[in-house]
Chains A and B, each alone.
Chain A
């Protein structure tokens, strides 16, 4: 993805001072809150998402503490039900869905494309404010009387419980718009704002991931919006849609809900595929294995993801024929996903592998995502799903995929782009210790849940029969190790902002366009529009320079 020598590799013109970058270009709180700069919006998203992650993590630790022993440990049953509802809603709608696309994607996408900004900068800012509004609604329900429906809002429970369901639904409704705006923006940006020479098959795979995600966001989220609106109407005005007492059909809600929420699973994990596809080749110093397969399979997954929602409903009373079609299409998705894992592993073959923190997260991703993917087979197989449905097996499976897949990729990407975001290197030692704690914590928390689940432990249980206690205790200990890992990582990252060293322009020797400009980037990103002449994973020309601690292109002396 290198550019021709006449364009981006020239030194910045004298108009820019050495210290002029997007962080210092304007000062004051208003220059952030009213910014149209995709990089600043990305940073604001990042701060919000991390705060929400801390909140959701706090709820998770409360849940795990309560489950240390059967019966009451620290909270009563109603509070427990509110805690897992908030944990799920916050983590899904405030953290994982916007996490990679809105925080990392906003920062990286225009840089990947050689563009000045996204196509609609004001819409981009609007989507951030939508996120804030949605988050406020969701958290306001916490103050009134937090919803206790589970993040799935199944009817008729959600239309009859006395807790504040409407603010929570309104919050998710608004967050949906935030997601749609981001998706729309990205689709147009990717279509219209690629630098000259940056053809579709020279795009970094992160862009392909964001593109597939954006399609799903734009097509699926409106269904969620309408469904939640119908739920609000039913609750507020007693118009029967889903509640059988009013003549409605509760299973209809499940169909509508999963019509969004299954694609949403891919909204959460496809951008993670993109991040991993960036990290592995860079730290193996080798072109990605099977580029076009990974690129196109993301799009294929995006389309197929609309046709599998019924696999959440094998025991809902859905017909056997419908169930079998959903099961078959689900297996169809499993194959390209499995092949991606093989592609990533093959990329490392005969590479020159560097185990920096981003790569550690990528290897961790391969481990947890493979377990998450394989256990998905148990759930897409209809007869075994009957036994495993609504048990801890499902909980473990989606935490391996969501927490293990999406969140580890998010943290990997965060370390990878951290030097570009802030112009500072994070501390490699604390970064690695954090990653190790996350890896141990994650497996200790969620692996015992597979065993509990296949032995029958139902999900969303406040109390449990004593046989499960050892597994629950292992899981609780794991959760605290996991929390500690994230704490170490966050502290390590924040500390890096306060001290040296400054990051070089290209610490990893990557060949995507963001690494051809200074760290942090200038307000306008590129001094001249780059002209792209090769693919994104060509590393042969980048040589490590010990003096600056980063890579420079052969034959060029670059100032950092």
Chain B
């Protein structure tokens, strides 16, 4: 799995983010979920109402300017109307039903977007700087969102650090991802294909790299993918599993493999090195040190680096931890 965050943030290479594409309506991107019906028709209604209002108002303004433009400073105005009760009543009352319709329609759509159907398939989402992780019911974790077409999907989200926002423009839905609580949204993919997933709430350096994709498969393909992906992970050699974790868990955002210090120390030549901590103690970077750095990152901060690492306690199995240690060992 390519790490999009790394590519976008540090290399400026073209990403493999899918395009947003076009919908039949110029203003909106390609659609891929049943939730689209709660947004697009209403957007259309708003756009036409606004366009017509704008044209009428500006035509009136332009007409008055052209017709009543003074030829000289001495010219007097032709009229002196400064109120007209009938007119004022009309333009106070006419917008009311138009706006009431907007409100009611928007409310109805919002309730639909926020009311998750009962029989939905559940995927847990974790937002962290600057990465999305998706946990599937079988325990498999991925950094790309895979979803089955024709199945209602409930997404339960939380953040490990700051506020993010999980935005799916193709599905017309979005919700903030807040640390310390769960938020949720739902959708039902209608066509197979790939759609971009953005972080919409500003979250720092890699905010614009916090992009991944949602891949909608047919139900059969999805089921097969999930079983295969889970099995592949179980039978992976530790070092390869470690490399996968390095990209998937967001290690790559702060730890380089080529010796360049980033937010955290580089992993190149790290294993068995004597590291000086911020309190002056010198510690050998062995298995125990690495495990402790992942579980209780604030307990040992290497001198010269900010205490920025989140904890991975409870998030990684022993097998994955061993895999990461093996991968670090391999970075000679």
Contact = CB atoms under 8 A, between A and B. Distances in A.
B133 interface: no
A162 B204 CA distance: 11
Contact of A353 (B64, B100, B175): B64
A458 B200 contact: yes
Given A353-B68, A454-B28, A543-B74, A386 B39 contact: yes
B105 interface: yes
Interface string B7-19: 0110010110101
A350 B201 contact: no
Interface stretch (A205-213, A369-377, A410-418): A369-377
Nearest to A468: B20
Contacts of A174: none
A238 interface: no
Contact of B80 (A78, A160, A245, A286): A286
A157 B204 CA distance: 8
Interface in A354-397: 354-355, 363, 366-367, 370-371, 374-375, 377-378, 380-387, 389-391
B161 A156 contact: yes
Contacts of B19: 465, 467
B73 A354 contact: yes
Contact of A327 (B49, B103, B162, B183): B103
Interface residues of B, number: 95
A363 B65 contact: yes
A121 interface: no
Interface stretch (A215-223, A311-319, A495-503, A510-518): A311-319
B95 interface: yes
B107 A327 contact: yes
B8 A363 contact: no
A458 B57 contact: no
Contacts of A353: 64-65, 68-70
Contact of B68 (A149, A351, A381): A351
A378 B165 contact: no
A455 B28 contact: yes
A456 B19 CA distance: 11
Contact of A71 (B12, B53, B95, B183): B12
B179 A156 contact: yes
A24 interface: no
Contacts of A339: 88, 91-92
A431 B122 CA distance: 61
A341 interface: yes
B289 interface: no
Chain A interface bracket (under 10, 10 to 19, 20 to 34, 35 or more): 35 or more
B111 to A, nearest CB: 6
Contacts of B43: 378, 384, 387, 454
Given A157-B204, A382-B109, A467-B20, A249 B57 contact: no
Interface in B137-196: 161-163, 165, 167, 169-170, 172-176, 178-181, 183, 196
A464 B61 contact: no
Interface stretch (B206-214, B236-244, B274-282, B315-323): B206-214
Contacts, number: 288
B267 interface: no
A345 B196 contact: no
A421 B205 CA distance: 46
A451 interface: yes
Nearest to A341: B57
Interface string B26-48: 11110000000011001100100
A324 B165 contact: no
A342 B199 CA distance: 40
Interface stretch (A43-51, A95-103, A289-297): A289-297
Interface in A451-472: 451, 454-456, 458-467
Interface string B43-79: 1001001100110011011001100111011111111
Contact of A384 (B12, B46, B165, B209): B46
Contacts of B233: none
Given A288-B82, A350-B68, A389 B91 contact: no
A16 interface: no
Contact of B205 (A78, A328, A454): A78
Interface in B194-228: 196, 198-209, 211
A81 interface: yes
A377 B174 contact: no
A334 interface: yes
Contacts of A81: 202, 204-205, 207
A351 B68 CA distance: 6
B212 to A, nearest CB: 12
A314 B103 CA distance: 14
Contacts of B325: none
A477 interface: no
A456 B169 contact: yes
A133 to B, nearest CB: 28
Contact of B174 (A157, A288, A382, A390): A390
A114 interface: no
Nearest to B206: A77
A381 B165 contact: no
A285 B77 contact: yes
B107 A451 contact: no
A374 B53 contact: yes
Given A331-B102, A390-B174, 18 more contacts: A244-B179, A250-B180, A317-B176, A328-B103, A339-B88, A345-B61, A353-B65, A354-B70, A370-B53, A374-B53, A380-B102, A381-B42, A383-B110, A389-B174, A391-B167, A454-B28, A456-B170, A463-B9
22 contacts: A72-B12, A149-B202, A287-B82, A288-B82, A320-B111, A345-B61, A348-B68, A352-B68, A352-B75, A353-B68, A354-B70, A370-B54, A374-B49, A377-B102, A382-B109, A383-B42, A384-B43, A384-B109, A385-B106, A386-B175, A465-B196, A539-B77
